[in-house]
Amino acid sequence: MKRMTSDAVSPVVGVMLMLVVTIIIAAVVSAFAGGLGGSQEKTPQVSLKAKPVIQAFSDEDKTNTEADYPTDFTAANGIEFEHAGGDTFRLSDINIVLDTGTKYTITSVDKLNDPTVAGSGEWLVLPDGITDGGYFLKVGGSKGDKNIAPGDKFMLFADGHYDSSDSPTASTPGKYIVWRPEGTAGGLGVQFGTKVGWTVVDRGTSKPIASGYVVFR
């Protein structure tokens, strides 16, 4: 009569348990990794159109590189963007990089020059109250509305402009539109007739959302 033996059972069970544990660990790691990936901030996928806006332009002294506006003159100049499709985003979540060969970044927390501070507001030509202190404003939106959805438009306002066409000392005489945020020593002047590249950047991921160029005329 043959006797039953279980000598080989333990190794088989051990191998099966090891496989089960391995599979469980792999599943947990996969789920954890997927959770991390899902929690990472994503860059909005957006299509933007842009056009230069010159509402008004005046400089009473073309022999220098300063802004010599007529009394009480104002103009809402800058770049108008239209959301042509894609994700909704907030104006508070973007920066705009302008590129004329030298790159210059305008952020959502930059403030326009304060004309009440001596020496700081010589470029400022925007009408009072047109922004809440920043450069970006939704077109036709209510105060504080920063959501930009497909079909919406928003402005990147410029501080001001000047015309140095008759200046004997200007290195490149001509008309310029100017960005000069409060607290900056320099700023950016863009000559009319030249390309200025723009890139809208997501502040959370530091990745570009859209880019292109405009020409002021």
Which residues have C-beta within 8 Å of that of residue 103, sequence separation ≥ 6? 97
Give how far Cα 112 sits from Cα of 5, 103, 116, Å.
Answer: 89, 19, 12
pLDDT of residue 118: 47
- pTM of the entire structure? 0.79
In eight-state DSSP terms, residue 37 is H
Q: Are residues 11 and 58 in the same domain?
A: no
Q: How far apart are CA 155 and CA 15, in angstroms?
A: 66
pLDDT of residue 8: 53
Q: Are residues 81 and 7 in the same domain?
A: no
pLDDT of residue 39: 44
In eight-state DSSP terms, residue 91 is G
Q: Are residues 31 and 63 in the same domain?
A: no
Instruction: Give the three-state DSSP class for 103.
Output: strand
Q: Are residues 36 and 85 in the same domain?
A: no
Q: Are residues 141 and 158 in the same domain?
A: yes
Which residues have C-beta within 8 Å of that of residue 33, sequence separation ≥ 6? none
Q: Are residues 19 and 100 in the same domain?
A: no
Q: Are residues 25 and 51 in the same domain?
A: no
Which residues have C-beta within 8 Å of that of residue 144, sequence separation ≥ 6? 132
Q: How far apart are CA 179 and CA 86, in angstroms?
A: 29
Q: Are residues 141 and 112 in the same domain?
A: yes
Q: How far apart are CA 196 and CA 187, in angstroms?
A: 14
- The secondary structure element, H or E, covering residue 34 is helix 9-39
**Domain residues for 90?**
46-215
Q: pLDDT digit of tens for each residue in the chain (217 aa)?
A: 555 455 555 666 566 667 666 777 766 556 555 544 444 679 999 999 999 999 999 999 999 998 999 999 999 999 999 999 999 999 999 999 999 999 999 999 998 876 555 455 567 888 887 876 689 999 987 778 899 999 999 999 999 999 999 999 999 999 999 998 877 767 899 999 999 999 999 999 999 999 999 999 9
Q: Are residues 132 and 159 in the same domain?
A: yes
Q: Are residues 59 and 118 in the same domain?
A: yes
Q: What is the distance, to the nearest Å, from the Cα of residue 167 to the centroid of all Cα atoms in its chain?
A: 34
Q: Are residues 34 and 7 in the same domain?
A: yes
Q: Are residues 35 and 57 in the same domain?
A: no
Q: How far apart are CA 194 and CA 213, in angstroms?
A: 10
Q: Supply 205's token pair.
A: 């991921």
∠ CA 77-82-88, rounded to 5°: 125
The total of structural domains in the chain comes to: 2
